Structure 1
Amino acid sequence: MGDFRSTEAVRSVFVLFCFFISIISAPGEQWGQITEQKAEFFAASDVADSQIELTKKWYEIAAKNWGNYGPLEFWIVGNNEAAAKTLDRKYCDIRKQKDPSIPIRHCLNRGHNFVSYAIRGNAGLNTRRNENEKWSGFIITMSAKFPGPKEEDYKSVVLHEYFHVYQHAHIHSRKRSVRESLHQQNPWWGEGGAEYMAQLLYSRQKGVRAGYLKERMERKLRSIKDLREGESIKDIPYGKRARIAYDLGAWFIAFIISKSSEEAYRVKFYKDLNSKGFEGSFVKHFGFSSKDLLDEFHNSFLKLSLEDKLKIIPSIN
């Protein structure tokens, strides 16, 4: 008969070892780190293979340039509502597999399901990271319209949604209040950043026409006329007037990059975001408070001539 105490000691060490392994390998514990795990792709039955391949191509361009973050799923919806409903059931089955605590009925009855994408089109990111769910990850939905796969905008929209993955991957907390504080609740910062970086990266791809970026950014300046007297883009919420914050937010990102560097915005700011907070990282890497630069942006930069405003946009041949 062996030594009972020795056996128990070994067993205790083994239990602790297993517990440690379960912690470090639990879903979400590698959050914010570049991974070799590629995105998963799911599509409704009416989605053409060519659209799936197009989406994969532009995801891979984004991941190559900004780093591959995850876990990430792409769900691609067509125009057929019945096919979208079937895809919804598959989606909820997978949600249940990845997190058994999620009620299937709640998933199927969620407000913005795939049927709504089949009807209204558009694209979006669902970041699943909170205190209530075990699985953390990203879910990007692409659709058949607004934009559709034959439109040039489809490519930059894939990049836009992936830059949101990049942004949220750099916010580690599961607490909603902390995540909103670091990302900013209104769209000026998050959407402005995703839009400018998407257009910038797209403009650098082989075959994209010279002058594309300045053309797109000039178009966004139309939103200046919709700003109310004394209004800041920072105060515009999601909703009917959010487009103003998307458009001029993209210009604000171009503005702060012109005063610092692309690396200061995309790399250094996000690297220090968790430790220093939004304002702390902002001041460290851009040299001024967000209020000061927003004031300069509204009161000086936006009043410049079109020619002078466009000088901060890179000329890409």
Structure 2
Amino acid sequence: MIARLMPSPLHRLAQFASAPVAVLLAIATLMLTLVHRPAGADGLLGDLVSRPLSVAFLGPADGPYSLSIDLNTGDVIAEAPNQADHQQWVITPLPSGQYRLSNAILGEDFALTAQGRDRSLLMTPVDGRAAQRWSFRLNGEGYELMTGDGELGLLYDPAHLSTPILVNAGECCNSFQSWDLDGQAGAFAAAREVRQTSDDGLLPEAWSQPTDLTPDFFFADDVVEAARTGMVETMAAATEAWGNFGPIEYWVMGTDPKAANALLDTFCQRRDDRGDWSKNACLQREKRSEHGLISYQQLGADALANGQPGGNAGHNGGFDWGIHRFSSSIPLGMSGLLGVPGDEEQKTVLHEYFHAVQHAHVRDLDRDARDRKLGPVWWMEGAAEYMAMTTHARLQAEGKIPVWDNGDWTFNFRNYRKNMGRKFRQASKDHKRHDCVAEMVRIDYDSPCRSFFYDGGAWAVALLVSQHGEAVLLDEFYPRLASMDFEAAFEATFEQTPETFYAEFRPLIEGQLGVALGLLPKF
């Protein structure tokens, strides 16, 4: 495979005077260093068929340049890198004249395959023709790699191995191995281990206990002081009302690209300094427009450009790092923009923080185990929305957070019942279209009832709270997650199964608004 490709790469790369000869050496060395023939591998691999590396990113000393290989002709083209590519390979020159591969990021459309008897590792389209499929999973210490069939793994241990080798994954590492060829995985793992007290896949017991740590807010330079004050004081009221579960990092973007990039650099440097993540890998991931931290700046900028309110805020995990991580686009209302009331953004801060309260009661690091305890989407989002709406109204009524009243619509505590009524009407409409009560068993967001899980879920929680008291979630249900999954904790708390409750809730959401409003507290 290498011999077949070399004439064309030599011809095409010669056209790029700025591309050093080291580029060719890097690719040749890459193919050679990823070669290994462990005992018994022939029987596992056979004569595999694959296609060559599709996209590589060379640097930083070599340009940088991206190296693209045309899958049809085999031609190689050196050009400026496209940071939006899902596949980015960093090849770093070493003093010994060899090269180091690091920070491989694969998208869903590509797989990594072991090719033929030479065991070269090649990027291929996932089209059903790839002989070996490998998947990358991002974690706090790099990337984890495993085969699609679970038979083969790629093992790399910088302390003992000079190159990655193919192994029988069934005999090593539970099918997953850390994949971090720049040698930082061990340091990240050691730093994370300091924050954990056991190796049983659980966060330390302190994770579920209130802390005296003040939540950390990080604002882009163009976020105005009123917005900064509004978010910080709302979070302080939330931690006083529900308990201070941390550590918390809240990253707030504005709309200016330069300020956003500066905040992103601060975020990734912090990850590197704490041993959570290499700065380079962090920047590559978080600069992606979809789901990366930079996307929150783009949402705010688009809203201002279009003159239409819009944005996003989220609890973005951080469990592997021992933190609750939050991100937010520019708080429009607290910034006096586009007619959004600052009161509604107070509610958003409360909603997102309640997710930290929920996650604080689950110590499992494994995502599937967390999901089994945290429960369906309606419960996660409905509980957060009900608690945010109700606590927001109470805090304003008690004078613990200010009333903004600065928008084109009203969202203060005096309108609590009216705003909950809007949620009821919307949830009722969604339910009539899609039978959303039947969808309440779902633990994923991919449903036509996604909005119902928020609005209808809030009303489902309102029904439970009206029967069992305002403190039932914080004092009874969530503490039970230390030893129970969602269904067991639900039944122990509410004395009925979730399925029985769904049948009880159906007539409420299909009934009259006036009956539902009677369940709510008054302020």
TM-score by length of 1: 0.84
Query: What corresponds to 1:305 in structure 2?
Result: 512
User: How far off is 1:115 after superposition?
Assistant: 2.3
What's the CA shift for 1:64? 0.2
Find the residue that maps to 2:484 and give its secondary structure.
Answer: helix
Match of 2:416 in 1: 213
Partner of 2:499: 291
> Could you tell me whether the CA contact under 8 Å between 2:248 and 2:323 is conserved in 1?
yes
CA distance in 2, matches of 1:83, 1:32: 35
Offset, 1:124: 0.8
Q: Distance in 1 between matches of 2:413 and 2:328?
A: 27
CA distance in 1, matches of 2:516, 2:282: 46
Pick from 238, 251, 274: which aligns with 1:62? 238
Q: More strand by proportion, 1 or 2? A: 2
| CA distance in 1 between partners of 2:349 and 2:428 (Å) | 26
SS of 1:205 mapped into structure 2: helix
Aligned with residue 322 of structure 2, among 136, 158, 166: 136
User: Residues 192 and 251 of structure 1 are in contact (CA less than 8 Å); yes or no, is this contact kept in structure 2?
Assistant: yes
**Structure 1's 115 and 229: CA in aligned 2 closer, same or farther, altered over 3 A?**
closer
Among 263, 281, 296, the residue aligned to 1:117? 296
Among residues 227, 234, 239, which one is paired with 2:440 in the alignment? 234
SS in 2 for 1:197: helix
Structure 1: distance between partners of 2:378 and 2:373: 13
Counterpart CA distance in 1 for 2:366 and 2:196 is 19
Contact 2:436/2:452 (<8 A) preserved: no
Matched to 1:137, the amino acid is I
Once the two structures are aligned, what percentage of the paired residues are identical? 30
RMSD: 2.5
Which amino acid is the alignment partner of residue 271 of structure 2?
R
Whole-angstrom CA distance in 2 between matches of 1:50 and 1:115 = 22
Give, in angstroms, the shift of residue 149 of structure 1: 4.2
Q: Does 1:225 align with 2:411?
A: no
> Partner of 1:14 in structure 2?
none
Question: Does 2:279 align with 1:96?
Answer: no
Amino acid at match of 1:266: L
CA contact (8 A) 1:71 1:138 kept: yes
The residue type equivalent to 1:309 in the other structure is A
Superimposed CA distance per residue, residues 236-278 of structure 1 (whole angstroms, 9 cap, x where no aligned partner): 6425641121110111110111121122222210011121221
Kindly tell me the number of residue pairs found equivalent between the two proteins.
290
Deviations 1:144-195 (A, max 9, x none): 15665442211010111110110000111111111011112x4211111111
1:10 alignment counterpart: none
What amino acid is the match of 1:200? T
User: In terms of Rg, which structure is larger?
Assistant: 2
**Residue of structure 2 in register with 1:6 after alignment:** none
Greater RCO structure (CA 8 Å; 6+ sep): 1
In terms of fraction of residues, the more helix-rich structure is 1
Corresponding residue for 1:243?
A: 451
Which one is further off, 102-111 or 170-179? 102-111
- CA–CA distance in 2 between the matches of 1:241 and 1:85? 36
CA–CA distance in 2 between the matches of 1:183 and 1:22?
Answer: 23
Paired residues for 1:122-201 under 5 Å:
122-129=312-319, 133=320, 135-145=321-331, 149-150=335-336, 151=341, 152-184=343-375, 186-201=376-391
For the 8 Å contact 1:88–1:113, the answer to whether it is kept is: no
* Distance in 1 between residues matched to 2:252 and 2:196, nearest whole Å: 33
**Unpaired segments ≥5 residues, structure 1:** 1-20
Which ranges of structure 2 fall in alignment gaps of 5 or more residues? 1-193, 300-310, 398-402, 404-411
Check 1:109–1:38 CA distance in 2 against 1; reply closer, same or farther (3 A cut). Answer: same
3-state SS, counterpart of residue 262 of structure 1: coil
Q: Is the 8 A contact 2:466 2:519 kept in 1?
A: yes
Matched letter for residue 174 of structure 1: L
Whether the 8 Å contact between 2:386 and 2:459 is mirrored in structure 1 is yes
Contact kept, 8 Å, 1:123 with 1:142, in 2: the verdict is yes
Q: With structure 2 as the length reference, what TM-score do the two structures score?
A: 0.52
2:197–2:203: 8 Å Cα contact kept in structure 1? no
